[in-house]
C-alpha cells in the first residue's frame, strides 16, 4: 500500500497552478499528472501581471481584428497576448500569498469604482512597425494612480513589490509585422469603433517563472516514448522549449518540458506547433469597475485539498480514481446559436485495405474466378461489383471494417455536437465514397443527404503508380452498391480533365478552383459543406481560401504526412468578405494506432 503524503507547500502550488478552479483539479494535478515532476518541491514563486481587459462590444470588435489580421497577414508579436492594457510589470509572489494578493486587488477596485474613468477614451496611433490605441493622457493618469494604489495595497497585504507601468497606456493591435502588411493592418484598425461600449475589468494572471524566456509550443499529436530519454505527448498539452537546451539534440528532435506533467525530455519536432505565449498563463480572477460583484477565483485552501484527498482514500487504500489532468479540449461549435456562418469541413478517408494488408491483398482475397473471400476480420464481408473486374481494386482500394467504424464515429460525434451538414462532396476514390457514406450513417442522414462525387477532389495524381489513373467506379455502380451518391450531380472538373503525374502547381490550383466552385454552388447563408477526400485535401482545399500562398511541395508533403485517417478540419467564412479562416472543429480528434496481425500458431504454439 502506497500512502502519498504532500507538504502544505505542494498543495498550495497545486491550487495556484490550476487557478483555484476546484479541489478536484488541484488533487488531480498533484496526485496524478505531476506526481513525477522533479520541480514539485521547488519553492520558486510565480510571476504575476495585472491587465485591464475590455469586455462587451469593444472586446468583440478587437477580437474580430485579432482574427482578421492574423488571417490576412499572419501572426505578429501582438498575437502572443490577448487585447489588454498593461497596468504593471511582471512581479513575483509566493504561492502562500496569492489569497492576500487577490484581496489587495479586490480592495483597490472597490475603492476606485466611483473614480475610475468610464468610458476610457482611446486614440488610434500608427507607426512603421506598430499600430495601437492609446488612452487619452488625462484619463491615463487616473488609471496609473489606480495601479500605484494597487502596488501599495499589494505591498501591505501580500508583502510583494509591484512596479506600476510608467509608459503610455495603450492597447497594442499589431507589432513587429512585415512592412508590406502595414496598409492592410491599418485599414483593419480603422474599422474599429473606439467609442463602442466597454467595461474594463482588472484581471490577474500568472506564469511559471522558469519558462518566462522559453518558446511555447502546443502538442498536436500523441506520442508514446520509445526510449527512456523521450517525453510522452498528449494533444492539448504545451511544451516549453529553450534554444539554449537544443545543443545536444539530433535532427528532428527537441528538448522541452511538459506543462501537464512538469517532466523534461526529448520529443519529435513534427508533433508540435507554435502557440501563443499567454495560452499557458493561469487566470486568478477578474474585478469589474461597473458590476457590483467581482469574481476572485482562488477561493480554495490547502486544507480543502487535504480533506478531498482523505475522502478519496479508503482505509489503508490509495486513491480510487486514477485520472490525470485532462488536456484542454477544443472549443465546441454550436450550430444553433449566434449568427450563422458558412462552414467548410474537410475530412480524410478511413483506413484503407491496401495499406493495412499490403499491396498483394487482392491475391489473398480473390481466387482465379474473381470470387472474394475475406481472410481477416478487418476485411469487409463483401465488396461492390465493378464493371472492370476485381483488379480495378488494385488502384482503388476500399476501406477496412475499422475504416467504416472510424467514419461512423465521426458521424456520431457530428450528430452529438448538433452540427448540421447541408452538402457532401467527395473524391471519386471508393475509400472516400465509403467514408462519406459511413459518416452520414453515423449522423443518421444516409437516407436524406446524397453524396456528390467530384473528380476534382482527387489527390495529387503524381502519387498514383503506373501510367494511368485509377478506373473508378461509375456513379451508377456506386448507387447500385447502396452508397447514397447523387446520380444527377454534374462535376465541376470531370475525370477527362485529370492528367497523370500532374505538376504540383496544377494540383494545388485544381484543388483551390474546385473548392471555390463548390462553395459558390452552396452559397446560401449559413450553409455547411463537408468534403471527404484525401490527407492532402485538408491543406490543398483550405490554405488559399485563407488568403495564404501555397507552400512549396517539400513543406506540403511534410504537412500531409502528419494527417491521420479521418483527420478533420473546419474553415469558417469571415463575415461576407470571401475570406475564410481555420477554426476549431466541432468534434474531438480521433486517435487510433496499429494492431499487427496475430498468428496464434507462431506466438502460442511452441514445440
- Which positions are catalytic? 348-349, 534
Residues near 499 by beta carbon (within 8 Å), at least 6 away in sequence: 461, 506
Distance CA 66, CA 52 (A): 17
Placement of cell 463537408 in the chain: 530
Lookup: cell for 495: 475525370
C-alpha angle 235-436-595 in degrees, rounded to nearest 5: 50
Which run of H or of E encompasses 48?
Answer: strand 46-53
Starting at the earlier edge strand, list the strands of the sheet with 568-573.
Answer: 451-453, 423-426, 528-533, 343-348, 568-573, 580-583
Greatest CA separation for the chain: 92
Judge whether 286 and 59 are in contact, CB under 8 Å.
no
CA-based nearest residue to 342, from 587, 512, 518 = 518
φ, ψ (nearest 5 deg) of residue 33: -70, -35
**Residues in the chain, total:** 607
Judge whether 325 and 14 are in contact, CB under 8 Å.
no
End-to-end Cα distance, the chain: 41
Lookup: cell for 121: 477614451
Which run of H or of E encompasses 10?
Answer: helix 8-17
Amino acid at each position: 500500500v502506497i500512502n502519498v503524503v504532500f507538504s502544505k507547500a505542494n498543495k498550495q502550488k497545486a491550487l495556484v497552478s490550476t487557478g483555484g478552479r476546484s479541489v478536484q483539479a488541484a488533487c488531480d494535478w498533484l496526485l496524478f499528472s505531476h506526481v513525477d515532476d522533479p520541480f514539485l518541491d521547488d519553492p520558486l514563486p510565480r510571476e504575476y501581471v495585472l491587465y485591464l481587459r475590455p469586455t462587451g462590444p469593444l472586446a468583440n470588435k478587437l477580437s474580430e481584428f485579432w482574427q482578421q489580421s492574423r488571417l490576412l497577414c499572419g501572426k505578429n508579436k501582438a498575437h502572443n497576448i490577448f487585447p489588454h492594457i498593461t497596468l504593471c510589470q511582471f512581479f513575483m509572489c509566493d504561492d502562500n500569498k496569492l489569497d492576500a494578493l487577490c484581496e489587495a486587488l479586490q480592495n483597490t477596485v472597490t475603492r476606485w469604482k466611483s473614480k475610475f474613468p468610464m468610458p476610457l477614451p482611446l486614440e488610434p496611433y500608427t507607426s512603421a512597425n506598430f499600430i495601437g490605441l492609446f488612452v487619452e493622457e488625462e484619463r491615463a493618469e487616473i488609471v496609473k494612480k489606480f495601479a500605484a494604489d494597487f502596488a501599495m495595497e499589494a505591498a501591505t497585504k501580500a508583502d510583494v513589490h509591484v512596479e506600476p507601468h510608467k509608459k503610455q497606456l495603450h492597447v497594442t493591435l499589431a507589432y513587429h509585422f512585415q512592412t508590406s502588411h502595414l496598409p492592410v493592418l491599418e485599414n483593419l484598425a480603422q474599422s474599429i469603433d473606439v467609442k463602442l461600449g466597454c467595461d474594463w475589468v482588472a484581471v490577474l494572471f500568472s506564469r511559471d517563472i522558469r519558462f518566462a524566456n522559453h518558446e511555447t509550443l502546443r502538442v498536436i499529436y500523441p506520442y508514446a516514448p520509445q526510449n527512456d530519454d523521450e517525453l510522452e505527448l498528449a494533444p492539448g498539452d504545451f511544451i516549453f522549449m529553450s534554444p539554449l537546451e537544443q545543443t545536444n539534440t539530433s535532427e528532428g528532435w527537441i528538448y522541452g518540458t511538459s506543462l501537464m506533467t512538469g517532466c523534461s525530455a526529448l520529443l519529435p519536432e513534427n508533433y508540435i506547433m507554435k502557440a501563443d505565449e499567454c495560452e499557458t498563463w493561469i487566470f486568478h480572477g477578474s474585478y469589474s469597475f461597473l458590476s457590483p460583484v467581482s469574481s476572485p477565483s482562488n477561493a480554495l485552501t490547502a486544507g480543502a485539498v487535504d480533506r478531498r484527498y482523505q475522502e478519496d482514500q479508503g482505509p489503508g487504500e490509495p486513491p480510487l480514481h486514477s485520472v490525470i489532468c485532462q488536456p484542454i479540449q477544443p472549443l465546441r461549435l454550436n450550430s444553433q446559436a449566434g449568427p450563422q456562418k458558412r462552414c467548410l469541413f474537410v475530412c480524410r478517408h478511413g483506413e484503407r485495405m491496401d495499406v493495412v494488408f499490403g499491396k498483394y491483398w487482392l491475391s489473398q482475397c480473390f481466387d482465379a474466378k474473381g470470387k472474394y473471400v475475406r481472410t481477416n476480420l478487418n476485411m469487409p464481408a463483401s465488396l461492390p461489383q465493378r464493371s472492370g473486374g476485381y483488379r480495378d481494386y488494385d488502384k482503388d482500394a476500399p476501406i477496412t471494417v475499422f475504416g467504416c467504424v472510424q467514419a461512423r464515429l465521426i458521424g456520431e460525434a457530428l450528430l452529438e455536437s448538433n452540427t448540421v451538414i447541408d452538402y457532401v462532396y467527395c473524391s471519386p476514390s471508393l475509400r472516400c465514397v465509403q467514408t462519406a457514406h459511413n459518416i452520414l450513417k453515423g449522423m443518421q442522414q444516409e437516407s436524406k443527404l446524397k453524396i456528390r462525387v467530384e473528380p476534382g477532389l482527387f489527390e495529387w495524381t503524381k502519387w498514383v503508380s503506373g501510367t494511368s489513373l485509377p478506373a473508378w467506379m461509375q456513379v451508377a455502380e456506386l448507387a447500385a452498391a447502396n452508397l447514397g451518391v447523387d446520380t444527377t450531380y454534374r462535376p465541376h472538373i470531370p475525370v477527362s480533365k485529370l492528367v497523370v503525374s500532374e505538376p504540383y502547381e496544377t494540383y494545388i490550383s485544381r484543388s483551390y478552383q474546385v473548392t471555390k466552385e463548390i462553395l459558390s454552388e452552396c452559397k446560401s447563408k449559413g450553409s455547411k459543406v463537408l468534403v471527404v477526400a484525401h490527407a492532402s485535401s485538408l491543406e490543398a482545399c483550405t490554405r488559399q481560401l485563407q488568403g495564404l500562398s501555397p507552400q512549396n511541395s517539400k513543406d506540403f508533403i511534410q504537412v500531409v504526412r502528419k494527417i491521420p485517417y479521418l483527420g478533420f478540419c473546419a474553415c469558417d467564412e469571415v463575415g461576407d468578405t470571401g475570406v475564410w479562416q481555420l477554426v476549431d472543429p466541432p468534434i474531438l480528434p480521433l486517435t487510433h494506432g496499429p494492431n499487427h496481425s496475430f498468428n496464434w500458431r507462431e506466438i502460442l504454439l511452441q514445440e
